[in-house]
Amino acid sequence: MQKIAPSILSADGSRLGEEIAAVEAAGADLLHIDIMDGHFVPNLTIGPGLVASLRHRTRLPFDVHLMIENPERYIDEFAKAGSDWITVHVEAAVHLHRIVHLIREKGVRAGVSLNPATPLSLVEPILPEIDLLLIMTVNPGFGGQKFIAGMLPKIAAAKRLIREAAPEVLIEVDGGVTLKNIRSIADAGADMLVAGSSVFGSGDYAETIGAMKSLLAAPTVTV
Ligand code: DX5
Ligand code: ZN
């Protein structure tokens, strides 16, 4: 079954440890951690020091999404901070192969992300060397934005490409995932679903994650 990765961007930052424990208890599969530098995206979040301290608070795998320029400068620190996955943006990486290999050399799984307007063809050459393709379905920078519906065909095209070129690569979808659209996103080919505001903005995390998992587990209805 597909995995749910709550994004702590929408959590109550004054109680981050408790919020993480709460989504872990509620059935989250991974923790999505958004790193923003105020350059690649118009927002700022946290650095490796805070990620390292959160590492002691949960057993959930850390899915670290770097929305930063010059990501190669920070791979070592985020690996040491306890990342299980590190994803860099193709738009921010001048030497993508080098960065992907740097991530893998640290024993961390390597992801590459595409902004909504960036074509899939840009990652085609590197697919056999990565573990994860992250498809942004909002323009990165903020939680709580609306899913760009035109991204569904891009997810489906990525799935077809991966099936042919690198079947082990997982597809993660990030941005605007809700109870309303999660099933169609999964049907298009997503393996990992990031959910920020739809989880942390809900009254009951266990109910929301449980409802997401039921929708994902429901059989496909054909008429
Ligand atoms: C946006 C971040 C997302 C964000 C998603 O730039 O990469 O991970 O937290 O938030 P929602 O799920 O609210 O769209
Ligand atoms: Zn993200």
In this prediction, residue 223 carries a pLDDT of 67
The pLDDT score that the predictor gives to residue 219 is 87
Residue 177 Cβ inside 6 Å of ligand 1? The answer reads yes
- Per cent of the chain over pLDDT 70 is 99
Confirm or reject: Cβ of 174 under 6 Å from ligand 1. yes
The pLDDT value given to residue 220: 78
- Strands 132-136, 109-114: parallel, antiparallel or unpaired by DSSP? parallel
Is pLDDT above 80 for 222? no
pLDDT band, very low/low/confident/very high, at 221 (cuts 50, 70, 90): low
Q: How many CB atoms lie within 10 A of CB 95?
A: 10
Selecting among 29, 37, 63, 174, the annotated active-site residue is 174
The answer to whether 174 is a known catalytic residue is yes
Q: What is the tens place of the pLDDT at every residue in 4-52? A: 999 999 999 999 999 999 999 999 999 999 999 999 999 999 999 999 9
Of the chain, the percentage scoring pLDDT greater than 90 comes to 98
Predicted local distance difference test score (pLDDT) of residue 33: 99
Q: What is the mean pLDDT of residues 60-65?
A: 99
| Alpha helix stretches (DSSP H) within the chain | 16-25, 48-55, 75-80, 96-105, 152-165, 182-188, 197-200, 205-217
Q: What is the pLDDT of residues 175-205, one digit of tens each?
A: 999 999 999 999 999 999 999 999 999 999 9
Query: Across the chain, what does the average pLDDT equal?
Result: 97
Question: 90: Cβ below 6 Å to ligand 1?
Answer: no
Distance CA 145, CA 204 (A): 21
